[in-house]
Homo-oligomer: A and B are copies of this chain.
Amino acid sequence: MTTSRPGERGDLLDPLCPVRQLLDRIGTKWTSMVVKVLAEEAPDEIRFAELRRRIPGISQKMLSVTLQSLVRDGLVARRVEPTVPPAVHYRLTELGLSLEGPLSALRDWAETHMPEIDRSNQLADEPAPVLSPLGEH
């Protein structure tokens, strides 16, 4: 997301507190939604195409790279059935499941309070309020 990862160079002086590292992973555009679907709608396993269907707007490529990242981080397990064509199944690992707690807490907060944040932004966008509105008749 914001701190480098592919380059792997340049973050030599970063504090890199753990939460920052974590946000660099789950903060990418589709990750939180992929985890959510895996947690809430995939009791057992789910296939690539089915997962994609449940995430409106995600492209094949983005789902692919998002899943690869999650697999690499050990949050998601990938199982290939060597048929032709292949069938690939994904599920949360125990580690991934353990993340669901804090993550759903954040989701709840967001659902409750994002409207307030939106309102705050709207206020900031409006032209500066007139102190004594004499100009209006």
Please report A residues at the B interface, Cβ cutoff 8 Å.
1-3, 13-15, 17-29, 32-33, 36, 55-57, 72-75, 95, 98-99, 101-103, 105-111, 113-114, 116-117, 119-121, 124
8 residue pairs, one from A and one from B, having the closest CB atoms = A74-B120, A27-B27, A18-B110, A2-B29, A22-B110, A18-B114, A102-B105, A19-B110
| CB closest chain-B residue, reference A22 | B110
| CB closest chain-B residue, reference A5 | B121
Interchain CB contact under 8 A, A73 and B121: yes
Which label, helix, strand, loop or mixed, suits the secondary structure of the A interface? Answer: helix
Query: Taking the nearest CB of chain B, how far is it from the CB of A2, in angstroms?
Result: 4
Instruction: Chain B residues near A108: list those with CB within 8 A.
Output: 102
Indicate which residue in B13, B14, B17, B107 contacts A19 across the interface (CB closer than 8 Å).
Answer: B107
Interchain CB contact under 8 A, A117 and B74: yes
